[in-house]
Chains A and B, each alone.
Chain A
Amino acid sequence: MTVSLPVNKRLANVKARLNEPYLIINIFLAGVIMLVMIYSGIFSPDRNSYPVECIHEKLTGEPCVSCGLSHSFSLILRGRIDEAYQWNEYGMRIFLFFASQLIFRIVFSGIYINHPEIRKQLIIYDIIGSVTIFLIAFMPFLIWIFKFS
């Protein structure tokens, strides 16, 4: 009896946490980033068997600014940084964006659960931080898009 009560409480806590939209979003986004990492890890850069092809290259016949990103990610995961830069010079900053977001999701979720009194501020900080990192990481792509649009 003494054991079942804390278990019930824990289950209730977990259920209550799963009702929090912020935590659900964090879990899903962390899952998506993990999938990106797994995708980069599974496909070998030496075999060049990536299923995603550049639509720009198909349409125009010329590589775009983000071509070679999958290769670059795979090479970064394997520690071949120099080769990764050769495939896509912006690969590292995009990879760092995803890696930082994975850490953000875990850390911010932990703070959100443990400090309910600062939840609103935490979400605001998360939005500001994520948007800033996003702009820094994707700036070359954004410049490229706005250059042609």
Chain B
Amino acid sequence: MEETKNNSGQNLGIAALITAIITFVLAVIPCVGLIAIIPGIIAIVLASIGLSQAQRNDSPRGVLLAGLIIGVVASLISFSQYFVAGKFADEIKNEKWSNKVEEIVNDVQENVVRDLEDANVSIKVEDGDEKVEINVSTGKSDKEKTLEDLEKGNDSVSAGK
């Protein structure tokens, strides 16, 4: 009779430990972490009942204590997910605003760069009969063409020599 009593406490401990381990794994997965508090509470209840039985029968409590500790830690992690959800939502709101500002800045920057890429600068200096004209272009296509010419060795400098 006493053996069966000891076994019942032990069985509750095993059930508590298995539930607690599963709860622990669930609790650290954010998608299902919030609902892990339910098996967590079940594990704590099972371990507590088992512990009270074990105390009465003076049977081993190792498994029961392990189940209780893991269950409590898992429940705390699961409970913390409620705060995680709240802070996560706040951060998303803030991020949305900062993202919008960042988008606008990026757009302006892109427009300025595009305008500069197509810019042509022309400087004319006239002194009586002498006339000097400097044309500078930042166009990408011109640069690419110059580079191609340099690679082929057909640039004007080498041709002149």
Contact = CB atoms under 8 A, between A and B. Distances in A.
A and B interact physically? yes
Interface of A: 19, 21, 24-25, 28-29, 32, 52-57, 59-62, 64-67, 69, 134, 138, 141-142, 144-145, 148-149
Interface residues of B, number: 29
A25 B34 contact: no
B89 interface: yes
Contacts of A54: 30-31
Interface of B: 7, 10, 13-14, 17-18, 21-22, 25, 28-35, 63, 77, 80-81, 83-85, 87-89, 91-92
Nearest to B18: A28
B13 A142 contact: no
A52 B32 contact: yes
Give the one of A54, A57, A66, A148 with max B CB within 10 A.
A148
A56 B85 contact: yes
Contacts of A60: 85, 88-89, 92
Nearest to A149: B80
Contact of B35 (A19, A55, A64, A67): A55
B28 A142 contact: yes
A25 B17 contact: yes
